[in-house]
């Protein structure tokens, strides 16, 4: 806004006749200019201040939301005793190796090839190199229509492909230049050598990039070829049989170009290779899979930080005898059947012969088996395993005492025992006050999975980073975490997951969920609304339509309702605690109905909580319903009464239907108020820890906000993180309710308009 004054061509002339002494007391023209300019400056200053304050308020409140999101996602260093994926993979490996007619299980691909070649019903898994050597006697099945060829492997369309890697460590490479030189030489010659051998080199560009990066790290000229003659000393290489021929050929050339030292190469399998490496008895590892966290941990014990380069790819071939005329292409499901459940070929595909399948397999430790299991059974979790297998996994991985204790709590099977004994069970359960666990109803699968996750997998988040730092300092954090928690798996974690919504409460924050709390909230809110709605709307109708406002008592009711609306919610908690929990305990515990659990029954139930909240929202519902009823034009009532309708007919058929939008809006707002209520429920006695779903109004309960409060009160950081995730759930729930209320309000407003 400009503060330039109006130019005046003629002096102002009013009030001339008055000879006006007052006009003289107003500022002169100059003075006015200055005065208005000053006032406008003040006004502009305040305008900025108001805008700034409003923006600050908005910023603070947005910060609130952002900080919660910031806490609920981010990198974590998670330590497990045994990774869940490994338990699952081990199960499927044992399925494969335990299938019928496993005629051979060996480390040596050549033996597998020979076995299949000699058996018309033979089928097996082997590396591509050996398969290629026995081309005439074997044929490879295509998987999902893709046969293993150079092209399908390179493009990654053939599913059963694994990387071929060379592992070493920075320390070894700097201590032993000859090892570094050999590694670089390998990268420079891998494509040529592997192609010659009929193996599958990694993409040429990828190889070149890795070589350049490695050379730079080592302080060598990336463009210059390695001169083996310039190096001396020993090189010890150990590991996978698949990569072995390639390494041998490269070593032959390396020596051929003048290398003076000794190169010792042993083909012992990837597992043994890493063992040797981490025990500092090998410089390089031929690996047909990435190193595991357990192996990394073993290396870390010797201060070795593994680093890897990828030299090639290796397809695992599903080979059958060349005389096999029926099998040519299989899908994932058929592969699973071929190697696990099926006994005869005809069980895999109808129309195949009813002859027995003869299996020739690699051993558990082989990379081939890993690739096969990870591809065919990848993505499965503990929940996908059969119940019996889960019981076995549990038994195998916990102490006998723990297993007995768990089984005493609740049995695995109705008719037999896994760790407990019949005698112990009988003895325990024949006493009068039979403890829990004497029920014959077995544990369900979900609870067994939860047990395994808690007792066997036992994930522990060692440290968590907030979203912002996880995004901006990702590399640094990864490095820090590897240093501080070498054995932990560092990954990005969303604390708010589907699992989080569906799992019950747990003492381990990593495994805790909000299912119990959400169900508790729903129950409590439902009871609160079911009771509060009719009473509140009834009261509003009475006050607006019946009550004579001149009567003192009715005015008192109105004042009283307004006052109740301002009473802090914790006071309602005290009311609920005294009236519903203590005085009405026989009713609220369900004892008079004979439904309460005799041993644990007290008044701290969903019913008590719901009734307390009903009282709490009563003023909110009454006041908003009154507003809605007031908004109904009185002409409508007059029209109805004029037709001879009774008062209640008028209310029921005209007033309530016209006010229903406003009433419903009020009810939803009341709902969103009590869904976030915490203090009164803590007072009334929300349980601090329950893992069982509420089953009815007489159950113990916890709700989403009380759960958040309890988690927030714990000292461990991880509980704060899941509290953040639970808050997001709560806010989303509230947001939906509010959006619905706004929708109703708009629809309602349109109708009246």
Partner 1 sequence: MENLTVLPPRGEAGSSRAGTVNAPDVPDLSRRHRIGERTIESGLFIAAAVSILTTIGIVAILLEEALRFFADERVTVVNFLTDTTWQPQANHFGILPLLNATLMITAIALLVAIPLGLASAVFLSEYASPRVRGLLKPALEMLAGVPTVVYGYFALTFVTAILRAVLGKDIVQIYNVASAGLVVGVLITPLIASLSEDALHAVPNSLREAAYGVGATRFETAVKVVLPAALSGVAAALVVAISRAFGETMVVAIAAGAGPKLTWNPFESAETMTGYMVRISGGDLSYESLDYKSIYAIGLVVFAVTLLLNIISQRIVARFREVYE
Partner 2 sequence: MTTLAHDPSGGPFAIEAQALNIYYGSFRAVKDINLRFSTHKITALIGPSGCGKSTVLRAFNRMNDLIPISRTEGTVLFHGKNIYDADVDPVQVRRRVGMVFQKPNPFPKTIYENVAWGARINGFKGNKADMDALVEESLRDAAVWDDVKDKLFQSGLSLSGGQQQRLCIARAIATRPELILMDEPASALDPISTLRIEELIQDLKKNYTILIVTHNMQQAARASDYTAFFNMDTDRAGYLVEYGQTDQVFTSPKSEMTEQYITGRFG
Of 266 and 554, nearer to partner 1 (C-beta) is 554
476 interface partner picked from partner 2, partner 1, none, CB below 5 to 8 A per type: none
Q: What is the largest CA-CA distance in the chain?
A: 132
When asked if residue 221 is in the footprint of partner 2 (CB under 8 A), the reply is no
4 interface partner picked from partner 2, partner 1, none, CB below 5 to 8 A per type: partner 2
Residue 636 parent element (H or E): helix 634-642
When asked if residue 750 is in the footprint of partner 2 (CB under 8 A), the reply is no
Of 9 and 432, nearer to partner 2 (C-beta) is 9
What CA–CA distance (Å, rounded) separates 160 from 316? 6
Smallest distance from partner 2 to CB 51, Å: 17
Of 486 and 705, nearer to partner 1 (C-beta) is 705
23 interface partner picked from partner 1, partner 2, none, CB below 5 to 8 A per type: partner 2
Enter the DSSP assignment of 323.
T
Could you give the 3-state DSSP secondary structure of residue 28? coil
When asked if residue 742 is in the footprint of partner 1 (CB under 8 A), the reply is yes
Residues 653-673 as b or e (16 or more Cβ within 10 Å = b): ebbbebbebbbbbbbbbbbbb
Of 82 and 547, nearer to partner 1 (C-beta) is 547
Of 23 and 742, nearer to partner 2 (C-beta) is 23
| C-alpha closest to that of 587 among 704, 617, 579, 285 | 579
What CA–CA distance (Å, rounded) separates 664 from 672? 12
Candidates 5-13, 153-161, 375-383, 438-446: pick the segment binding partner 2 (CB under 8 A).
5-13
Phi, psi of 644 (to 5 degrees): 95, 15
- Helix, strand, coil share (%) of the chain residues, nearest 5: 55, 10, 30
Candidates 19-27, 108-116, 231-239, 392-400: pick the segment binding partner 2 (CB under 8 A).
19-27
Of 54 and 155, nearer to partner 1 (C-beta) is 54
Query: Which residue has 């029926």 as its token pair?
Result: 326
Q: HEC states along 123-147? A: EEEEEHHHHHHCCCCEEECEECCEC
Q: Environment class of residue 710 by beta-carbon count within 10 Å: exposed (0-12), middle (13-18) or buried (19+)?
A: buried
Interface residues for partner 2 in 139-158 (CB under 8 A)? none
When asked if residue 727 is in the footprint of partner 1 (CB under 8 A), the reply is yes
Smallest distance from partner 1 to CB 12, Å: 14
35 interface partner picked from partner 1, partner 2, none, CB below 5 to 8 A per type: partner 2
Q: Which of 250, 369, 481, 618 binds partner 1 (CB under 8 A)?
A: 618
464 strand-pairing partners: 76
β-pair type (102-106, 358-362): parallel
Give me the torsion for CA of 526, 530, 531, 535, rounded to 10°: 140
β-pair type (235-239, 263-267): parallel
14 interface partner picked from partner 2, partner 1, none, CB below 5 to 8 A per type: partner 2
Q: Which of 112, 117, 183, 622 binds partner 1 (CB under 8 A)?
A: 622
DSSP character string of 199-263: -EEPPHHHHHHHHHHHHHHHT--TTSPP-GGG--S-EEEEE-TTTHHHHHHHHHHHHHTT--S-E
When asked if residue 560 is in the footprint of partner 1 (CB under 8 A), the reply is yes
| C-alpha closest to that of 242 among 182, 156, 166 | 166
Query: Which residue has 């003869």 as its token pair?
Result: 358
When asked if residue 430 is in the footprint of partner 2 (CB under 8 A), the reply is no
Task: Kindly determine how many residues on this chain lie close enough to bind partner 1 according to the rule CB under 8 A.
Answer: 93
- CB-based contacts of 368, cutoff 8 Å, min separation 6: 109, 125, 126, 127, 242, 288, 316, 362
When asked if residue 45 is in the footprint of partner 2 (CB under 8 A), the reply is no
Candidates 1-9, 105-113, 664-672, 719-727: pick the segment binding partner 2 (CB under 8 A).
1-9
What CA–CA distance (Å, rounded) separates 202 from 190? 8
When asked if residue 743 is in the footprint of partner 1 (CB under 8 A), the reply is no
Give the distance from CA 687 to its chain's centroid: 25
Q: Which of 28, 305, 713, 746 binds partner 1 (CB under 8 A)?
A: 713
When asked if residue 25 is in the footprint of partner 1 (CB under 8 A), the reply is no
β-pair type (235-239, 138-140): unpaired
When asked if residue 17 is in the footprint of partner 2 (CB under 8 A), the reply is yes
Interface residues for partner 1 in 55-114 (CB under 8 A)? 56-58, 60-61, 63-64, 67-68, 71
Q: Which of 307, 526, 669, 690 binds partner 1 (CB under 8 A)?
A: 669
Could you give the 3-state DSSP secondary structure of residue 4? coil
Of 256 and 568, nearer to partner 1 (C-beta) is 568
Candidates 26-34, 278-286, 611-619, 720-728: pick the segment binding partner 2 (CB under 8 A).
26-34
Q: 275 with 285: CB under 8 angstroms?
A: no
Query: Which residue has 């020993």 as its token pair?
Result: 234
When asked if residue 547 is in the footprint of partner 1 (CB under 8 A), the reply is yes
Interface residues for partner 1 in 686-705 (CB under 8 A)? 688, 705
> Binding string to partner 1 for residues 476 to 515, with x set by CB under 8 A, is what?
----------------------------------------
Smallest distance from partner 1 to CB 463, Å: 16
Smallest distance from partner 2 to CB 517, Å: 47
Of 46 and 593, nearer to partner 1 (C-beta) is 46
45: which 2 tokens? 């200053």
Q: Which of 23, 66, 323, 414 binds partner 2 (CB under 8 A)?
A: 23
563 interface partner picked from partner 1, partner 2, none, CB below 5 to 8 A per type: partner 1
689 interface partner picked from partner 1, partner 2, none, CB below 5 to 8 A per type: none
Distances (CA, A) of 421 to 416, 425, 472: 9, 6, 56
Of 52 and 356, nearer to partner 1 (C-beta) is 52
Interface residue list for partner 2 (CB under 8 A): 1-10, 12-18, 20, 22-23, 25-27, 31-32, 35-36, 39-40
């Amino acid at each position: 806004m400009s503060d330039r004054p109006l130019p005046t061509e003629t002096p102002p002339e009013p009030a001339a006749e008055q000879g006006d002494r007052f006009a003289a007391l107003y500022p002169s023209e100059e003075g006015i200019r200055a005065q208005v300019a000053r006032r406008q400056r003040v006004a502009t200053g305040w305008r900025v201040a108001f805008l700034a304050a409003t923006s600050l308020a908005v910023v603070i409140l947005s910060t609130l939301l952002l900080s919660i999101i910031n806490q609920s996602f981010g990198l974590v260093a998670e330590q497990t005793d045994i990774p869940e994926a490994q338990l699952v993979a081990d199960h499927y490996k044992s399925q494969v190796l335990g299938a019928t007619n496993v005629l051979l299980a060996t480390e040596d691909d050549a033996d597998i090839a020979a076995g299949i070649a000699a058996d018309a019903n033979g089928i097996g898994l082997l590396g591509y190199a050996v398969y290629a050597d026995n081309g005439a006697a074997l044929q490879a099945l295509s998987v999902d229509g893709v046969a293993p060829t150079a092209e399908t492997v390179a493009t990654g369309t053939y599913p059963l492909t694994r990387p071929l890697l060379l592992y070493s460590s920075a320390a070894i490479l700097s201590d032993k230049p000859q090892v570094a030189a050999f590694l670089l030489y390998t990268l420079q010659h891998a494509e040529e050598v592997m192609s010659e051998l009929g193996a599958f080199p990694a993409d040429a560009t990828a190889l070149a990039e890795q070589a350049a990066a490695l050379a730079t790290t080592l302080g060598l000229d990336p463009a210059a070829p390695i001169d083996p003659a310039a190096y001396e000393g020993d090189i010890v290489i150990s590991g996978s049989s698949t990569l072995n021929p390639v390494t041998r050929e490269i070593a032959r050339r390396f020596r051929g170009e003048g290398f003076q030292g000794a190169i010792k190469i042993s083909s012992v399998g990837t597992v043994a290779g890493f063992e040797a490496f981490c025990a500092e008895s090998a410089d390089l590892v031929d690996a047909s899979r990435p190193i595991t966290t357990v192996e990394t941990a073993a290396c870390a014990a010797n201060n070795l930080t593994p680093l890897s380069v990828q030299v090639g790819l290796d397809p695992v071939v599903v080979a059958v005898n060349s005389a096999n005329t029926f099998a040519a292409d299989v899908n994932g499901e058929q592969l699973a059947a071929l190697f696990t459940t099926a006994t005869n070929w005809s069980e895999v595909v109808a129309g195949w012969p009813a002859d027995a399948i003869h299996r020739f397999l690699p051993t558990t430790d082989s990379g081939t088996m890993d690739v096969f299991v990870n591809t065919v059974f990848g993505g499965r979790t503990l929940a996908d395993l059969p119940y019996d297998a889960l019981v076995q996994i549990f038994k195998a991985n916990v102490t006998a005492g723990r297993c007995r204790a768990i089984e005493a709590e609740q049995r695995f099977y109705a008719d037999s025992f896994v760790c407990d004994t019949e005698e112990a069970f009988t003895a325990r359960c024949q006493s009068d006050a039979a403890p829990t666990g004497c029920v014959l109803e077995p544990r369900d699968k979900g609870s067994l999975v939860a047990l395994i996750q808690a007792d066997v997998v036992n994930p522990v988040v060692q440290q968590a980073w907030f979203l912002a730092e996880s995004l901006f300092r990702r590399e640094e954090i990864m490095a820090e975490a590897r240093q501080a928690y070498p054995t932990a798996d560092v990954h990005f974690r969303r604390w708010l997951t589907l699992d989080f919504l569906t799992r019950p409460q747990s003492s381990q924050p990593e495994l805790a969920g909000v299912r119990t709390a959400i169900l508790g909230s729903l129950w409590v809110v439902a009871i609160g609304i079911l009771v509060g709605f009719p009473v509140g709307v009834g009261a509003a109708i009475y006050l607006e339509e019946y009550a004579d406002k001149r009567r003192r008592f009715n005015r008192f009711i109105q004042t009283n309702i307004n006052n109740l609306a301002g009473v802090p919610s914790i006071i309602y908690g005290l009311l609920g605690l005294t009236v519903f929990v203590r005085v009405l305990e026989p009713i609220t515990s369900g004892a008079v109905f004979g439904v309460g659990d005799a041993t644990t029954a007290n008044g701290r139930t969903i019913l008590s909580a719901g009734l307390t909240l009903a009282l709490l929202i009563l003023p909110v519902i009454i006041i908003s319903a009154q507003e809605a009823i007031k908004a109904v034009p009185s002409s409508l009532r007059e029209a109805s009464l004029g037709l001879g309708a009774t008062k209640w007919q008028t209310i029921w058929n005209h007033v309530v239907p016209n006010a229903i939008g406003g009433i419903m809006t009020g009810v939803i707002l009341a709902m969103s108020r009590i869904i976030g209520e915490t203090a009164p429920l803590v007072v009334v006695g929300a349980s601090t820890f329950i893992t069982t779903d509420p089953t009815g109004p007489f159950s113990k309960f916890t709700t989403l906000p009380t759960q958040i409060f309890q988690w927030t009160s714990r000292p461990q950081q991880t509980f704060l993180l899941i509290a953040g995730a639970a808050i997001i759930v709560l806010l989303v729930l509230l947001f939906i309710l509010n959006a619905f209320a706004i929708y109703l309000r708009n629809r309602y407003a349109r109708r009246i308009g």
